[in-house]
Structure 1
Amino acid sequence: MPSSHFKLTTRSITLLSTIATALLLTGCASSGAKDNLSQEEKPVVLTTFTVLADIAENVAGDHLRIESITKVGAEIHGYEPTPGDIKKAASADLILDNGMNLEAWFGQFVGGLNVPHAVISDKVVPIDISEDAYTGKPNPHAWMSPLNVQIYVDNIVEAFSDLDPANSVAYSQNAEAYKDQLQNVHDELVTELSHLPPNQRALVTCEGAFSYLARDATLTEKYIWAVNAEQQATPQQITSAIEFVKKNQVPAVFCESTVSDAPMQQVVEATDAKYGGTLYVDSLSESNGPVPTYLELIRHDTQTIIQALTGKN
């Protein structure tokens, strides 16, 4: 009897354990169903360009599907949405745009859509453009400051938490980890450029897209044109850049990946400055390119600027 009783008890324990395990797994499957959604089943967040898409992906983790309206290498300022873009936007769960007059086409693009959207530059202190037809309007390239992108990230967390409250904690945790990396990029830029002579603390580029980065690093910004609209430089603009470089003995000048560097090469030929390299602003590269993520974009730009202005390799 004792032996038989022992076997029965063992079987009972085994059975109860099996049932408990099954119930636990069932409960986990139920509570984690949202985390195990396929890509097609996840809520869709549509951004206006690739840089915003990557920033948003760092916050979203595996909980949302992030897509960009514009493709890699596209010039964002004068983009013209296609019927396919409008169809994609109509079926999105949330649209994120930069704001600050960057996407001039955006208002008309979403005007008739019943889709929530968030302006992720909200609460960024704007720097106004001081030249050309855009004088007095905010410089829209706020994401070129890692400090500003931390504000972007906070706004994205709020938008994602409204869309998907069940994963709000995960969005906040992802955001804090990402913001630490952004802060590290900022700190490195400031430290490396801190020893430049005052007159050489200048960032000369084709487009005036670096006002916020220049502010962060206490550099004087000089550009050939204010906004990539026509992408053509006038003789007066090139002459102004040449005079600035000569006066300040600027060691290096730069241009952006989405425009021709021919105007800046004229500045190089007329001065002692060297061409410091190509900077990325409005678009990421393909996955096998130099800047497939925003962090790699901002690190590439800061390293290119540091090496060219300081002479460090």
Structure 2
Amino acid sequence: MKVGFHRSSRVLAACVLSVMVFALTACGGVGASDDDRKVVLTTFTVLADMARNVAGEHLRVESITKVGAEIHGYEPTPGDIKKAAKADLILDNGLNLEAWFAQFVADLEVPHAVVSEGVTPMNISEDAYAGKPNPHAWMSPVNAQIYVDNMVRAFTDLDPDHAEAYRANGEAYKTQLGAVRDELVAAVSTLPADQKALVTCEGAFSYLARDAGLTEKYIWPVNAEQQATPQQIGSVIDFVRQRGVPAVFCESTVSDAPMQRVVEATGSRFGGTLYVDSLSEADGPVPTYLDLIRHDADTIAAALAGAPK
């Protein structure tokens, strides 16, 4: 979030992507595999988990970025190009999340689908990003159901022989998403009205806050190249003091140092780490998207209610 796709990196990448793609496709890319299923490549781990629930056993789903990666300013590697050149379908979030994606796929003859298509975006209201769509639409389980429908259509086009399986998997997963949404609402419903404020480092929780009935405040609207400014931190400090917000939070893929300054200035407590752009390893707290939403909802509700971490 603090290190973006610098202009020099973009220029350099533009010079080498075409060469890498040609070389990798001409040489056949990575070695042969015993797994002959078609390959679906997603831009980050959250989408990969969703896609696996829809694909079931019929497609092999992989993520370009690894667990813990910061998606906004990601810089593709030669290994990423190799994977993409051999994929049968690439899924991206859209809504300007993957700033690097258009260049990444420009020279690849691989179809791709935008899984946020059909979502009604919430616009960012502050700073240089004002008026642009907030890209974190998957943080609403309601929106995630739209993602699933888009995946079902894309997988059916890719592999029509298993269309019915994708439809059935999608409907079953959407039922689970609806249940998680109900859990999210229930987790914060008992909080007093003056405690229903979600203060985070990045404005990545707009959709989740809307679903849960929380007022959102953040240090920066979108992960950017610069450090948090004194004005941004001061605005959050004022908000926390005025509202008497009992706890504040930060995301797993950024430093919580700016939010710790808010804690020091206000006496509020650091309520815990939330997950947005990346799942955890299998033995971590959020190995799946459903776990991610549950973890965030439970962490927020417990901290705002004053429960010990």
Q: Same fold (TM over 0.5)?
A: yes
Q: Which has the larger radius of gyration?
A: 1
The CA deviation string for residues 7-50 of structure 1, in whole angstroms up to 9 with x for no partner, is xxxxxxxxxxxxxxxxxxxxxxxxxxxxxxx8620000000011
Identity of aligned residues (%): 75
Equivalent pair of 1:39/1:65 in contact (CA under 8 Å): no
* CA distance in structure 2 between the partners assigned to 1:78 and 1:247 by the alignment: 34
Q: What is the aligned partner in structure 2 of residue 147 from structure 1?
A: 142
| 2:193 matches 1:237 | no
Q: Give SS of 1:96's match.
A: strand
1:276 aligns to what? 271
The Cα of 1:218 is off from its aligned counterpart by 1.3
**Cα shift at 1:215:** 0.6
1:53-107 deviation digits (Å, cap 9, x = unpaired): 0100000010000011111111000011112211211111000000000001100
One-letter amino acid of the counterpart of residue 134, structure 1:
Y
Q: Count how many residue pairs are aligned between Structure 1 and Structure 2.
A: 276
State which of 29, 42, 49 in structure 1 corresponds to 2:44: 49
Tell me the amino acid that sits aligned with residue 149 of structure 1: A
Kindly indicate whether the alpha-carbon contact (under 8 Å) linking 1:224 and 1:237 is maintained by their aligned counterparts in 2. yes
The equivalent of 1:62 in structure 2 is 57
Contact 2:54 2:148 in 1 (8 A): yes
| Contact 1:189/1:306, CA 8 A, preserved across alignment | no
Higher relative contact order structure (alpha carbons within 8 Å, sequence separation ≥ 6): 2
1:180 counterpart = 2:175: yes
| TM-score (normalised: structure 1) | 0.86
- 1:208 and 1:299 mapped to 2: Cα distance? 19
The yes-or-no answer on 1:135 pairing with 2:130 is: yes
The answer as to 2:307 corresponding to 1:296 is no
Contact preservation (8 Å) 2:275, 2:292:
yes
Residue 196 of structure 1, CA deviation? 2.4
The answer (yes or no) to whether the contact 1:203–1:222 under 8 Å persists in 2 is yes
Matched-pair contact (CA < 8 Å) for 1:97–1:118: yes
Q: Any stretches of 5+ residues in structure 1 without a counterpart?
A: 1-37
Report the CA distance between 1:233 and its aligned residue: 1.0
Task: Please tell me the root mean square deviation across aligned C-alpha atoms, in Å.
Answer: 1.3
Distance 1:231 1:246 in 2: 25
Amino acid at match of 2:212: A
* 1:269 CA drift (Å): 1.2
- Aligned pairs for 1:154-233 (under 5 A) are 154-230=149-225, 232-233=227-228
- CA deviations on 1:170-225 (whole Å, 9 max, x unpaired) are 11111111111111111122123223232321100000000000010111110001
Structure 1 segments (4+ residues) deviating >6 Å: none
Structure 2's unaligned 5+ residue stretches are 1-32
Is the alpha carbon distance of 1:241 and 1:278 closer, same or farther for their aligned partners in structure 2, counting shifts above 3 Å?
Answer: same
